[in-house]
Each structure stands twice: as structure tokens, then as C-alpha cells.
Amino acid sequence: MSATARVLTGLAAGAVIGLLLVGWNPALALQVANVAQPIGKLWLNALQMTVVPLVLALVVVGVNTATDAAASGRIARRAIVVFIVVLTGGAVFAALAAPLVFALFPHNPALIAALGHAALPSAAQAAPVSWVDALTAIVPNNAIMAAAQSAMLPLVVFALFLGFALTRIAPVRRAMLLEFFQAISDAMIVIVRWVLWAAPLGVFALILSVCARSGLGMLSALGVYVLVECLLYLAVTVMMLPVAVIFGGERLRRFAAALVPAQVVAISTQSSLASLPAMLESADRRLGYPQQVTALVLPMAVSLFRLTSPVQYVTSAVFIAWAYGIDLSTAQLLAGAMLAVVISLGSVGLPGQVTFIATNLPVAQAMGLPLSPLGLMLAVDTIPDALATLGNVTADLTATSLVTRQSRRDTA
């Protein structure tokens, strides 16, 4: 049985047992929930303990990877700029659209009590601060303290400075430090995989505890999460068409037809890497892009660029806020969106469920949100994977069209 199947089995078993207990004996259901909840929280804590060193290492290594790619030539530099701009656009769109879409669905107040007895972290309970305080807090006055307090946005800012600083030191020392941070990243991923091995038990305990307290409320909420995530994935995928037409100079019908072969592979394999040959074939034969552009930009896109990643991170955070009845401020949404862009550039190479834990946790933490629903969201997040890959492949070819147009202007 695959890891995904094991996690989904744990989710289903916990939900069924929790609902049966509620229907049979509500008092017994609460007692069972009180026993199961610490097990689920222990599993979540084990996942959370790796986030700070993992994010620090990913951002430092990711900055240097992108810098090395950009240093390889003008086409690569343009591709990096296009990736960042499109990722930022996707993150901002999610920050604007997700709260509006979630607001269309009725909220179950019982979820607040079920999800950790309404025990919000201090960051979520704190009074709003002025925009001046929020701005100055972005740059940490003590990076070690920021890490200790899991202040993810200041920590990522420090990691960005550190990553760019490494590009300015002697190559030998730079290579040594990059090897060090890569080793930290690899070690944290090993720990996460160990913890994910126990994911069926952790998810079982979490969903059992929640369903025993809120009945069908959590299952319907998870359904809303999956639905909204799928809708936003489809929305950003469709948005790539006018971007290619307006900024890439493409004809809509020809570009949409050229996307189809790669999109079919993306949906069937749920892998951007597996879709790369189909993307190269469409770019060359169907769209007529120069080979020197496609041979560089498309592999870079598969390695560095996933449009749906920041959309997912922001949507997940907004879902948690919706489930807890928290009104997110503009500053929180903007901070989450910008952090999502940075993290997405550094986490493309992470495998499977490791990606979800390493990326959604810091965004939710940066926005001051509770983390208890993340274990359950991890279990159901595999469902929209096909649409996520569809959006990523579409964005890869769209980015290539933008870089191609700029390159042709240079030679004109």
C-alpha cells in the first residue's frame, strides 16, 4: 500500500469511528477524543520541530541555485524574473480570492472547539499592530531569537540576506557552506520522512478527536478546502492563457492547442518532470520557439517554478483562518503571499508529502494561525494534485512564451 493510501485509510478509519461514537454515545466519544488528541498533537509537534532549520536551509540553497542559474546568461536571468513575477501574481491572486471564496460557505462554530478547544496561539490573539511595527518586524534584530520564536517571515528575510551574501564570498568557502546547509536540509527531510511513516496513526488520532467533537463538521470543512483549492488551481491555469496572449504575443487558439499534449501527460502522471518531453515537443514543433530558449527555460521551470505552490500555501492558511473564524488583515495576507513566493522557489525539489509540511507550516505560522488542522489537510491534499500539475505545466509553457518574445526582440 502506498504512503498516500495509508494516510487516506487512517483518515477514513478515524472519521468513521469518531462519527459512530458520536451517534452511539456522545459522552464516550468525548472521552475517546481526549485520549486521541494528545497522540495527534504529538505527531504534529514532531513535524513542526523540523520546520525552522529546514526552511532556513532551503531558502539559503534556493537563493544560490537561482543565482547560479541567472549567472548562466541573459535568457536564464529573464526566466528567473518571469518566474518570480508570475509566482507573485499567483500568490496575490490567492490572497485576494481565497477569503472571498471561503466566505461563500457556511462556517460551523463547533469546529473552533474541536480544533484544539479554541486555543489560538498568542500571535493570533494579539491585538493588531500598526503598519510601521509590522514593517520594522520583517527584519529581525536577532536572527537566533526569530528562529526560537518560529517567527518565519523575519527568519526567511535573514535567510535571504545570508543566501545572497554567500554569492559574494570566496568560491571554496561558499561551496563549503552550501554543502553544510544542503546537509541540514537532507537531514531534516529524513526526520520528516520518519515522522510521516507514522502519519496514518497521527491522522487517525486527529480526525477521530475532531469528528468525536464536531460530528460531520470537520469532514464537510475538509471538503470545502479541497473544492476551493481545486477552483483556485483551475483559475490560475486559465489565467495563464491571457498572460501568454498579452505578454507572450501568442494567438489564443494556437497556444491552447499546443498545451493539450503536455496537459494530458500532466494530469495522467501528476509530474511536471514527466511532462517535460511533451512540453519541449510542443514548444518546438507546435509553437516554433527557438531551441536555445526552450532547452534552457523549460528545464529551469521544472526545477525552480511551480505556479500552484504559493496558491496552495495561501489557500491552506486562509482555510485555517476560515475554520477558526479568524478575520485576516491585509498585512497578514500580504506577508503570507510574499513568504509563499520565497518558499516555493526553494522547495520545488522536495518530494511528496514532505513539501506540504515544509511549506504550509511556515506560511501559517507567519500569519499567526493555529496549526492543528494541517495534519488533516495533508491527508486530503493529494486529491487536487492532478490539477496542481496541470497548472504548473501550463505556467511553464507560458513563462517560456514570455522569455521567447523578449529574446526575439533582442535579435530583431
Three-state secondary structure along 60-116? HHHHHHHHHHHCCCHHHHHHHHHHHHHHHHHHHHHHHHHHHHHCCCCCCCHHHHHCC
Contact 98, 232 (CB under 8 A): yes
Can you tell me the mean pLDDT for 319-346? 87
Q: What is the DSSP letter of 189?
A: H
pLDDT of residue 70: 64
Residue 412, classified by CB atoms within 10 Å of its CB into exposed (0-12), middle (13-18) or buried (19+), is: exposed
Distance from the Cα of residue 339 to its chain's centroid:
10
What's the domain count of the chain? 1
Mean pLDDT lowest among 129-138, 171-180, 308-317, 383-392:
129-138
Using pLDDT thresholds of 50, 70 and 90, give the confidence band for residue 128: very low
Range of the domain at 228: 3-411
Distance (Å, rounded) from C-alpha 37 to C-alpha 202? Answer: 9
Q: Tens of pLDDT along 177-215?
A: 999 998 998 898 888 888 888 888 888 888 888 777 777
Q: What is the DSSP letter of 283?
A: I
Q: Tens of pLDDT along 34-56?
A: 788 788 888 878 877 887 888 88
Q: How far, CA to CA in Å, does 258 sit from each of 123, 287, 375? A: 47, 7, 38
pLDDT of residue 313: 92
Distance (Å, rounded) from C-alpha 171 to C-alpha 3? Answer: 40
End-to-end CA distance of the chain: 56
Asked whether residue 309 carries a pLDDT value surpassing 50, the answer given is yes
Q: In this structure, what CATH number is given to the domain that contains residue 20?
A: 1.10.3860
pTM of the predicted model as reported, rounded to 2 decimal places: 0.81
What percent of the chain is helix, strand and coil (3-state, nearest 5)? Answer: 80, 0, 20
Mean residue pLDDT of the chain comes to 82
The grid coordinates listed for 403 are 522569455
Contact 9, 1 (CB under 8 A): yes
3-class SS of residue 147: helix
Q: At what angle do helices 51-70 and 152-166 cross, to 10 degrees?
A: 40
Q: What is the DSSP letter of 286?
A: I
pLDDT of residue 197: 85
